[in-house]
């Protein structure tokens, strides 16, 4: 449970924090901002939809303070920016949101399409931004993760170039790979999307056509850009017909892409399967 002072989370545990029409009710904002910084990972974001300006002076706020003893803070963005920046976050970025009560005539819509904004529209947007501004603060540089393809790249090394397999008997290989991209690799998710696995596929020896998917090995933990893994992995085969094949090793972000499709170099190992 949240005690109003310390969030029940470990340091750098979350990617996103969302405050929807709530932060302006908080009495100890500076303390909570420091908690936001503590629990956010590098590249994490805290997003707000909050009223700015003299919100406490509105009739609705006056009634709620009088009848329900609700705290209504007037949020000064200049002061708020200073609090967040002192805590270590970057300056705010604002999202232009549409006023659901504002309706345009056909003529005004046509004018807007040419890049001109009427005084009526400018006034409506200004009023809306006072009552419901959408903005966010970033901890460090924005960081993608492996749930999307952008920024995925690896360097991959395999200890052998040839292997001989007995049917049904796996082989152990030494594997080394490094995250050389600009994206965090995640090792778990609510579903498989974006989880990164070290994986192999079996190819025809002559044509190099893919014959079968082979075993996947999940990375042991999340990997930030620059992180490195090295270890021994046991590789079984999902095919039993005695022949010579290729095993193609690569990393894959599940339901997103194979790293090779983005320019990373996969590794081919010649394998001979014996009865």
Are 25 and 132 contained in the same domain?
yes
> pTM to 2 decimals?
0.70
The residue range of the domain holding 162 is: 154-274
Looking at the domain assignment, is residue 8 inside a domain?
Answer: no
Instruction: Say what the pLDDT of residue 98 is.
Output: 65
Are 24 and 131 contained in the same domain?
yes
For 33-75, the pLDDT digits (tens) are: 999 999 999 889 999 999 888 889 889 899 999 999 999 999 8
Looking at the domain assignment, is residue 67 inside a domain?
Answer: yes
- Mean pLDDT throughout 246-258? 97
Of 142, 171, 198, the domain-final residue: 142
CA distances from 207 to 70, 84, 161, 204, 271 (A): 72, 58, 18, 6, 15
Crossing angle of helices 106-113 and 119-131, rounded to 10°: 90
Quote the CA–CA distance of 185 and 180 in Å, as a whole number.
11
CA terminus-to-terminus distance, the chain: 60
CA distances from 259 to 154, 197, 234, 268 (A): 7, 10, 21, 14
- Mean pLDDT throughout 160-187? 94
> Considering its fold, how many domains does the chain have in total?
2
Q: Nearest Cα to 183, choosing from 253, 88, 84, 121?
A: 253
For 87-139, the pLDDT digits (tens) are: 999 999 988 776 667 787 888 888 888 878 888 888 877 777 767 788 999 99
Are 114 and 179 contained in the same domain?
no
């Amino acid at each position: 449970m949240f005690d109003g002072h310390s969030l029940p989370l470990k340091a750098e545990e979350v990617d996103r924090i969302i405050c929807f029409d709530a932060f302006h009710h908080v009495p100890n904002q500076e303390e909570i901002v420091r908690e936001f910084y503590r629990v956010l990972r590098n590249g994490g974001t805290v997003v707000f939809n909050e009223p700015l300006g003299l919100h406490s002076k509105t009739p609705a706020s006056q009634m709620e303070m009088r009848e329900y003893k609700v705290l209504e803070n007037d949020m000064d963005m200049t002061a708020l920016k200073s609090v967040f920046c002192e805590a270590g976050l970057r300056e705010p970025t604002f999202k232009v949101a549409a006023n659901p009560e504002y309706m345009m005539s056909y003529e005004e819509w046509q004018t807007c399409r040419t890049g001109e904004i009427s005084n009526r529209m400018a006034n409506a947007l200004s009023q809306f931004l006072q009552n419901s501004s959408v903005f966010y603060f970033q901890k460090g540089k924005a960081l993608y993760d492996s749930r999307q393809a952008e920024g995925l790249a690896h360097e991959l090394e395999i200890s052998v170039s040839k292997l001989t397999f007995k049917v049904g008997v796996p082989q152990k290989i030494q594997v080394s790979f490094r995250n050389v991209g600009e994206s965090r690799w995640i090792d778990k998710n609510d579903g498989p999307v974006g989880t990164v696995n070290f994986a192999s596929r079996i190819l025809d020896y002559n044509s190099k056509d893919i014959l079968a998917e082979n075993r996947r090995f999940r990375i042991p933990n999340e990997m930030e850009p620059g992180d490195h893994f090295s270890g021994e992995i046991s590789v079984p085969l999902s095919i039993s017909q005695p022949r010579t094949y290729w095993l193609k090793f690569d990393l894959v972000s599940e339901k997103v892409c194979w790293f090779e499709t983005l320019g990373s170099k996969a590794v081919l190992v010649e394998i001979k399967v014996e009865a």
